Amino acid sequence: MMKRIVATALAISAASLMVGCTATNAMSQKSDVIPDNKKPTPSVLINVTSDDAQVQLMSMVLTMQSAQQGANIRVLLCGPAGDMALRDAPKSVTTAQPPKNMSPQGLMQMVMKNTNTKVEVCALYLPGKGIDQSALIDGVSAADPADIGALMVDQTTKIMSF
């Protein structure tokens, strides 16, 4: 009888040990599922064409807000909005507006200084005005249509137009 009790106890102990080892081994295995804790950085193309100073300023307000919230921003200035990038810019883009007493060009320069935002004029802007790159403020260049086209068809890019 004593042998039977010892044999049963040994069997239970061995079974418990096997279950414990199996559970520990299973818990130590890495999962093939990678947690999606990190959101991808959103890309935003902001296309500004309006000649309205208030619209231009608001486009820069939203550009700054988007950049501060982690978006990868690219600004494309076309037509009259390209004037925002000129060293010798018209008053419409340099005149401060309420409520923060900022101008479209001034806020655009602040965005460029304080974020990684890339600002470009459309490829037709400089030749259309009869001017070259030297007419643009520092940090602004002419856009490459192929780069902008690739950004536009990228499914992860959001496109905003003003």
Kindly state whether residue 108 falls inside one of the protein's structural domains.
yes
Which structural domain, as residue segments, surrounds residue 83?
Answer: 43-161
Are the beta carbons of 83 and 104 closer than 8 angstroms? no
CATH value at residue 150: 3.40.1260.10
For residue 35, what pLDDT is reported?
A: 52
Kindly state whether residue 31 falls inside one of the protein's structural domains.
no
For residue 70, pLDDT over 90 is answered with: yes
Residue 102 has φ and ψ, to the nearest 5°, of -115, 150
Q: pLDDT over 90 for what percent of the chain?
A: 74
The single-letter code of the amino acid at 70 is G
Q: With bands split at pLDDT 50, 70 and 90, how would you rate the model's confidence at 27?
A: very low
Kindly state whether residue 48 falls inside one of the protein's structural domains.
yes
Cα-to-chain-centroid distance, residue 97:
27
Q: Residue 61: name the closest of 116, 95, 106 by CA.
A: 106
- Render pLDDT for 30-58 as a digit per residue (tens, 0 to 9): 445 545 567 778 899 999 999 999 999 99
Kindly state whether residue 120 falls inside one of the protein's structural domains.
yes
